[in-house]
Amino acid sequence: MRALSVDLGERSYPVLIGDGVRHELARLLPPTAQAAAIVTQDAVQAAGWLDGLDPDLPFEVFTIPDGEGAKSLATVESLSCGFAQFGLSRADVVVAVGGGIVTDVAGFTAAVYHRGTAYVNIATSLLAQVDAAIGGKTGVNLPEGKNLVGAFWQPSAVLCDTETLSSLPPREWACGRGEMAKYAFLGEAPHPDQGVDEQVARCVAIKAAVVADDEREGGRRMVLNYGHTLAHALEGAAQTRHDWDLRHGEAVAIGLMFAALLAQRLGRIDESRVTEHRRVIGGYDLPSELPPGAEAGELVAFMGRDKKAHQDLTFVLDGPRGVETVRGVAPSDVLATLADMGAPS
């Protein structure tokens, strides 16, 4: 087992990584808790990952639907009503058991239920373990875009149980590998030949350091969105394009390639650095091309709603000082880059 920490003063919390660490839950719950609401999905239960999970408190299990459609205000309302009927108090605890959708939704519900209830993440997907479950960014989607309603609400602990990864289908591995590819440009990235515990720990260490430096995304933390501006635009467009079978990590990989090409167009990086992006993305067996039928105008409209934007087009881009936030990018440069990738205006 590996133990790391997200250092936020009085709100610091441990991140445990290893085979079977979900069974450490009881000792990591807040001492005030007298009951627990466990939020999960049917697929997680069917895989057996709740079997033997004992919070050593009275608890009730709440399931949310699969897929991005579950990341909605309707799901938050449904969970909140369930918590109230169960009698969950502000002093109790919410336990999220699942991937990024579960940790995002359960975390946001905990943030707003009784104006703030403690929660613990038990991350069962690679995406959640290397990214979504750590750092306290919680939220749900609107038809207008990804994660537009949310809150910063730090968990009390995160358990990255690598045993649960054995049940993941290949496409779900791609979700996490997209984030791993991102970390390759932010620090000492994991190597695909390393064991999975070590790969997860390396990603967690990078993210924990960034979050400790900038908890509420006022500056440095924005680099964690590398590749995500286009990724979220693609995911937003995919809500009405049901022929696109695109996982989050695959969208991030395409977004990384777009960011590299845009940075090259702006003179921030050269062709060798673009080639490095292609090599890293390919090394994780991820796509780098836009899905068929992508329209540049639609994607730019979604980008304009991105959380980093301040009435402009804002991107996280590579450059001479490394990956950083770049504001006021000309729409013409964005459209030209998308056109180079095969998206008509």
From 71, 221, 247, 308, the catalytic residue = 221
Question: What mean pLDDT value characterizes the chain?
Answer: 94
pLDDT > 90 in the chain, percent? 84
Active site residue 137: yes
DSSP string for residues in 158-182? EEEEGGGGGG--HHHHHHHHHHHHH
**pLDDT, tens only, 176-193:** 999 999 999 998 777 778
Yes or no: say if 251 and 178 are a contact pair by the CB < 8 Å rule.
yes
From 10, 27, 115, 242, the catalytic residue = 115
pLDDT band at 309 (very low <50, low <70, confident <90, very high): low
pLDDT > 70 in the chain, percent? 98
d(CA 92, CA 75) in angstroms, rounded, equals 20
Active site residue 23: no
pLDDT number for residue 307: 60
From 172, 217, 235, 250, the catalytic residue = 217
From 71, 207, 247, 277, the catalytic residue = 207
From 121, 177, 179, 247, the catalytic residue = 179
The number of angstroms, rounded, from the C-alpha of 133 to the middle of its chain's C-alpha atoms is: 7
So what CATH class is 2-168? alpha beta
Active site residue 182: no
From 225, 235, 277, 308, the catalytic residue = 225
pTM of the model: 0.89
Active site residue 198: no
From 22, 71, 137, 307, the catalytic residue = 137
pLDDT number for residue 143: 87
Counted residue by residue, the chain has a size of: 345
Residues 6+ apart with CB under 8 A from 109: 39, 76, 79, 80, 83, 94
Yes or no: say if 317 and 328 are a contact pair by the CB < 8 Å rule.
no
- The domain segmentation of the chain, as residue ranges, is 2-168, 220-340
**pLDDT, tens only, 175-234:** 899 999 999 999 877 777 889 999 999 999 999 999 999 999 888 999 999 999 999 999
**Radius of gyration for the chain, computed over Cα atoms and rounded to the nearest angstrom:** 20
Active site residue 191: no
Active site residue 146: no
CATH number belonging to the domain at 220-340, selected among 3.40.50.880, 2.30.40.10, 1.10.10.10, 1.20.1090.10: 1.20.1090.10
From 146, 232, 277, 307, the catalytic residue = 232
Q: Give 31: exposed, middle or buried? Use CB within 10 Å, 0-12, 13-18, 19+.
A: exposed
Yes or no: say if 109 and 84 are a contact pair by the CB < 8 Å rule.
no
Active site residue 179: yes
From 248, 268, 277, 308, the catalytic residue = 248
247 closest CA partner among 258, 234, 259, 266: 234
Residues 6+ apart with CB under 8 A from 213: 220, 221
d(CA 291, CA 287) in angstroms, rounded, equals 9
Integer distance in angstroms from the first to the last C-alpha of the chain? Answer: 50
From 22, 228, 247, 307, the catalytic residue = 228
Helix axes 228-238, 248-265, angle to 10 degrees: 130
Active site residue 217: yes
pLDDT at 109 over 90: yes
